[in-house]
Amino acid sequence: MMIRDTYVGWPYCVHDDRVYLNSPIFNCLEHDSSVHLAPDKYLIDRDYQIFFPACGYLTSVNYSDEETLCFVELFDLRSPLRFKTHCGKMLWTAFILVGFVAHALGGHNPCCSYPCENNGVCMTQGENYYCDCANLDFYGKHCEIPTFMKRIKLFFKPSHETLHRFLTSNKWFWTIINNVPFLANAVMRSIYVVRAAMLESPPPYTSEHDYITVEANFNYSVFTRALPPVPKECPTPMGVWGKKELPPAEEIVKAFFTRKEFLPEPIGTNLLFPFFAQHFTHTVFKTDLKKGPQFQWGNHGVDASNIYGEDRNSQNNLRSFKDGKLKVQIINDEEWPPLISEADVPMRYPKEIKKTNRFALGHSFFGLVPGLFMYSTIWLREHNRVCDILKKEHPEWNDERLFQTAKLVIVGETLKIVVEDYSNHLTNFNFPLFFKPELLFGQDFQYQNRISLEFNHVYHWHPLVPDEFNISGTIYNMKEFLYHPEIVVKHGLRDFVDSMIKQRAGLVGPRNHGRVTIPVVLDLLKHGRTLRMQSFNQYRKRFDMEPFKSFEELTGEKKFAKQLEDFYGDINAVEFYVGMMLEKRLRFDSLFSATVIQFVSPFSYKGLMTNPICSPKYWKPSTFGGEVGFNIIKTASLENLICKNIKGECPAVSFKVPDYVEGDVTEFVNQKLEL
């Protein structure tokens, strides 16, 4: 039997010469245990499989068994049925099927099945739909046919998995590229441009609507969306796939996220990394939960507000108004942030925290964890160090000019460290990424950015955090560690940093969320459901990756795959964050799975390189106080940042533990996850 010419949509099965929908309305597996499923069960190949749109009509069901079935075409259920020839029993079956589906599914949005491919826009038209393929390199009823030039590009384009393997291997090749400046520049320029081009600018969607609005561009109080919300009138939370209701979030967290035993990170990541990530990302991820998970209060970019405060009032309270510097206090002959009694900024400290331990920081959250207090102290010292350099270079400048210029330098240092230290560790490529804004001059590049909801969600990497911390031989459990920034003062900044370097972070993956962070991931799943985020597979397609066809293909093993299937019922119904965390690794040669890297990199590069200081008007010595300030940025690194701001001998600064040996924990992690 061959079935052709179809719409994107639902799975089906065949039994006794009949076509049944395998859907929440009618599950053919439950109907008869002897049912034969069509190849791969899901409808992918247009030449051999049928597609059922969510509104309940089928198109061109062609049976080629000439002895009994002839050819049958089923058109819109609300239009007259058409048959090429009389097929006896099959004709009656068609009427039964059509009547059943019309009754069960009538009234649903036909776009719930996401029939439009390659970022085509599905438009309802009464009870029908059509795909808007305008301005794409694809055409056809479902935007499925590439143009001639696009077909050539696709022929030569490697898959993401192939490209990832190439970047993390073939060291000899990348050594040559790295040592030829014009080749390295060409590769880096391509990375900037290609990655940024994967995101729409201006943004088309927010959480309020599943279609384009003016608000999507002008309302800065909300996160944008890479994909619109699932339409409200769909038969399942993921459109047409999966069960009518998602499994309880508490059960998902218990099955897939709760830590039973700490699992170490396989490429040797230390605790400097997660605290840097958390400190840095709080300059851009600022959810306003009082209004709702779709709202935010930030400036949609790297503005260093995590150092200088959330608004002008906080910034002024943190400033000394002398020589451009920030306020400090001296303890044990070291500079530390002031107390809130000296700098009145909003901070979240429990009532039981002593007033002498209530430090005033750039973000109200940063008093929670000593690791965040560590970076707050380092950046405070760096700002004041830059002010001293600028004052020596420009004795004629007043406090305001020194402060504002130092702030620009700090933003530049942040961008360079994020690209060259942080991102290189995250990807683990053999091609070292580097920060060079002038590569984009003359390119078709827009210097504007918006923070998306999905970027915020995927950046929940709490499994990196262990259950206890070894600071110079003293072990602190999580209860003893949280809301105790004075631990850093007690041990001294140098020894605290050294301890962070030597302690291993956790694996970002299944069953490795500590007890303290379980409420965070639970809320994250609930927020994703409230905002009707599309499925993990839909996001893979959005970012040019093939959707997974089975649970085992997603997880790379059987145990988690079976649990996922029991919970969700369909691979196309797996939630966004769940899929991100449970996806198999190509190898343990990078910090994250392939989808996380493919997903994060466009948002990261666009967010970094669209910063105004990277634009031609800003990126020049005069912006940063002359060559002296410009050179501070150009020579910035994680090592320089830390070593220039601690007393005593500087430890070996890196995002990896010093005793790392490749593959040293891989067997242990696989055993614990039963991979």
Q: Could you tell me the two tokens for 239?
A: 């459109």
CA distance 303 to 309: 10
Q: Could you tell me the two tokens for 360?
A: 């005033």
What b/e readout covers 506-534, taking b as 16+ CB neighbours within 10 angstroms? bbbbbbbbbeebbeebbebbebbeebbbb
36 touches 15 (CB < 8 A): yes
314 touches 307 (CB < 8 A): no
Q: Which residues pair with 330 in a beta bridge?
A: 335
Q: Mutual orientation of helices 370-393 and 272-281 as an angle, nearest 10°?
A: 70
Q: What does the chain come to in residues? A: 675
400 touches 380 (CB < 8 A): no
Task: Annotate 325-336 with DSSP letters as a single string.
Answer: PBP-EEETTEEE
If one counts every other C-beta atom within 10 angstroms of the C-beta of residue 603, the result is 24
Q: Could you tell me the two tokens for 228?
A: 């619109």
Question: Which residues touch 225 (CB under 8 Å, ≥6 apart)?
Answer: 203, 205, 206, 207, 452, 453, 454
Question: Which residues touch 581 (CB under 8 Å, ≥6 apart)?
Answer: 256, 257, 463, 508, 509, 510
Phi–psi pair at 513, nearest 5 degrees: -85, 125
CA distance 607 to 449: 6
Which amino acid, one-letter code, is at 630?
A: F
If one counts every other C-beta atom within 10 angstroms of the C-beta of residue 480, the result is 13
240 touches 374 (CB < 8 A): no
75 touches 128 (CB < 8 A): no
301 touches 607 (CB < 8 A): yes
Question: Which residue do the tokens 């991100």 mark?
Answer: 580
462 is in an annotated binding site: yes
With vertex at residue 268, the alpha carbon angle to CA 499 and CA 189, rounded to the nearest 5 degrees, is: 110
Q: Which residues pair with 329 in a beta bridge?
A: 336
The pairing of strands 72-73 and 82-83 is antiparallel
* Residue 113 vs residues 11, 241, 300, 410: alpha-carbon distances, Å: 11, 8, 32, 47
Q: Which residues pair with 15 in a beta bridge?
A: 18
Q: Could you tell me the two tokens for 340?
A: 């809130």
Where in the sequence numbering do the catalytic residues fall?
282, 459
Where do runs of H (alpha helix) occur along 198-320?
Answer: 215-218, 249-256, 272-281, 305-308, 312-318
CA distance 109 to 103: 15
The pairing of strands 121-125 and 72-73 is unpaired
CA distance 475 to 442: 54
- Cα-trace Rg, the chain: 28
* Known binding positions for heme b: 462
